[in-house]
Amino acid sequence: MPESGRDYKNAIYEQLALVGKALSSAPRLEMLDVLLQAGRTVEVLAAEVDMSVANTSHHLQVLKRARLVEAERHGQFVTYRVADPTVGELLRAVRLLGERRLSEIDRVTREFLADREGMEVLDRQALRERIADGDCLVLDVRPVEEYAAAHVAGALSLPLEELERRLEELPRDRQIVAYCRGPYCVLAADAVETLRRHGLDAVRATETVQDWRVLGVPVIASAEAHPSGPTQGDDP
CATH number for 112-221 (one of 3.90.1150.10, 1.10.1040.10, 3.40.250.10, 3.40.1160.10): it is: 3.40.250.10
d(C-alpha 35, C-alpha 79), whole Å: 10
CA dihedral 202, 207, 213, 219 (to 10 degrees): 40
17-51 confidence digits (pLDDT tens): 999 999 999 999 999 999 999 999 999 999 999 99
d(C-alpha 158, C-alpha 142), whole Å: 7
Query: Is this structure's pTM higher than 0.95?
Result: no
Average pLDDT over residues 123-136: 85
Kindly report the CATH class assigned to 5-87: mainly alpha
* Spacing of C-alpha 197 from chain mean position: 26
160-201 confidence digits (pLDDT tens): 999 999 999 999 999 999 999 999 999 999 999 999 999 999
- Domains of the chain: which residue ranges? 5-87, 112-221
- Point out the residues that are catalytic: 180
CA dihedral 224, 226, 230, 231 (to 10 degrees): -30
d(C-alpha 119, C-alpha 100), whole Å: 20
DSSP-derived pairing of the beta strands 175-179 and 136-140: parallel
* Phi and psi angles of residue 68, each rounded to the nearest 5 degrees, phi first: -90, -25
